[in-house]
């Protein structure tokens, strides 16, 4: 059955999470994964958004080498992203990066200038903060290519069934709830969590109850399943 655009976008977000997880666990390098995918895979400096890496699909799309992109610095964004989109994207990514939540994903559309064409083309981009570095890892793709990208990445990375099944539930957690979930998985007591986060034990219990309700869990084993699947511990 053909997936809806909403389902494809959510699948795209899951794939980005899996890519970062696999890189963090050194199962693949960014260059290996980037070479496998037809989408534009890129690493950007979290503050300046300068391109630190872009896969062959991306360099071919823009008609530039990675060295040429590096030499352009932040000027690359000015030259290749539509001026009506650039300011909004930079503001959105700045706010996103200030949250410093490595489990969150920032999704946006952007118009980019591609090699050999005078007009701009729309790309869907999903970005997240890398688990092990202060960079943004992103996958950008034409909307019509979402399904093809999903098939390719699923061949490159072993399916994480639990993560995919519970992805929406996990994303419903607030940053604070993810933080407390991590500490629960590490064996912290309510009092220890309260002391470390400068909140009351009552507030910790309230957060725990909300976490249990949102995730539909009641046992420590289930806490560990989430913590391991979403790379919290």
pLDDT digits (tens, 9 = 90+) for 161-192: 788 788 889 989 999 999 999 999 999 999 99
**Residue 146: other Cβ atoms inside 10 A:** 20
Taking residues 33-53, what's their average pLDDT? 86
Q: Tell me the two tokens of residue 113.
A: 């200038």
The CA distance from 164 to 216, in Å, is 15
- DSSP per-residue letters across 152-176: HHHHHS---HHHHHTHHHHHTS-HH
Q: Within 13 Å and on the Cβ side, how many CA atoms surround 138? A: 28
Q: Tell me the two tokens of residue 164.
A: 């995919």
Judged on CB neighbours under 10 Å (0-12, 13-18, 19+), 95 is exposed
Confidence class for position 159, pLDDT limits 50, 70, 90: very low
Taking residues 18-39, what's their average pLDDT? 80
**Which CATH number does the domain 165-229 belong to among 3.10.450.50, 1.10.10.10, 1.10.3720.10, 3.30.420.40?**
1.10.10.10
Architecture of the 5-159 domain: 2-Layer Sandwich (3.30)
Q: Tell me the two tokens of residue 22.
A: 């696999």
Give the pLDDT confidence score for residue 209 in this predicted structure.
95
Confidence class for position 149, pLDDT limits 50, 70, 90: low
Higher pLDDT, 230 or 72: 72
The CA distance from 184 to 165, in Å, is 22
Cβ(203)–Cβ(156) under 8 Å?
A: no
**pLDDT at 132 exceeding the cut of 50:** yes
Q: Tell me the two tokens of residue 197.
A: 């986060």
Give the pLDDT confidence score for residue 144 in this predicted structure.
65
Give the pLDDT confidence score for residue 33 in this predicted structure.
81
The CA distance from 30 to 210, in Å, is 36
CA angle 173, 175, 178 (to 5 degrees): 60
What is the domain partition of the chain in residue ranges?
5-159, 165-229
Give the pLDDT confidence score for residue 93 in this predicted structure.
92
Taking residues 85-110, what's their average pLDDT? 91
Give the pLDDT confidence score for residue 195 in this predicted structure.
94
Higher pLDDT, 109 or 142: 109
Q: Which of 93-102, 135-144, 191-200, 211-220 has the lowest mean pLDDT?
A: 135-144
Confidence class for position 122, pLDDT limits 50, 70, 90: confident
**pLDDT at 155 exceeding the cut of 60:** no
């Amino acid at each position: 059955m053909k997936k809806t655009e909403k389902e494809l976008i959510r699948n795209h977000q899951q794939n980005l999470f899996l890519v970062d997880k696999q890189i963090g666990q050194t199962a693949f390098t960014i260059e290996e994964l980037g070479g496998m995918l037809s989408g534009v895979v890129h690493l950007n400096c979290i503050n300046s958004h300068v391109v630190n890496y872009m896969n062959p699909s991306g360099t071919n799309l823009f008609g530039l080498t990675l060295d040429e992109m590096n030499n352009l610095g932040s000027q690359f964004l000015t030259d290749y992203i539509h001026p009506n989109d650039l300011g909004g994207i930079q503001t959105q990514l700045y706010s996103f990066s200030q949250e410093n939540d490595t489990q969150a994903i920032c999704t946006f559309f952007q118009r980019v200038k591609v090699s050999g064409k005078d007009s701009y083309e729309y790309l869907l981009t999903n970005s997240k903060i890398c688990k092990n570095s202060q960079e943004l890892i992103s996958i950008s793709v034409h909307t019509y290519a979402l399904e093809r990208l999903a098939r390719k990445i699923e061949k490159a990375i072993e399916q994480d069934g639990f993560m995919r099944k519970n992805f929406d539930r996990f994303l419903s957690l607030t940053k604070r709830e993810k933080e407390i979930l991590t500490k629960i998985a590490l064996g912290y007591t309510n009092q220890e969590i309260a002391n470390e986060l400068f909140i009351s034990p009552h507030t910790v219990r309230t957060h725990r109850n909300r976490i249990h309700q949102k995730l539909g869990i009641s046992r420590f084993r289930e806490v560990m399943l989430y913590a391991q699947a979403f790379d919290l511990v």
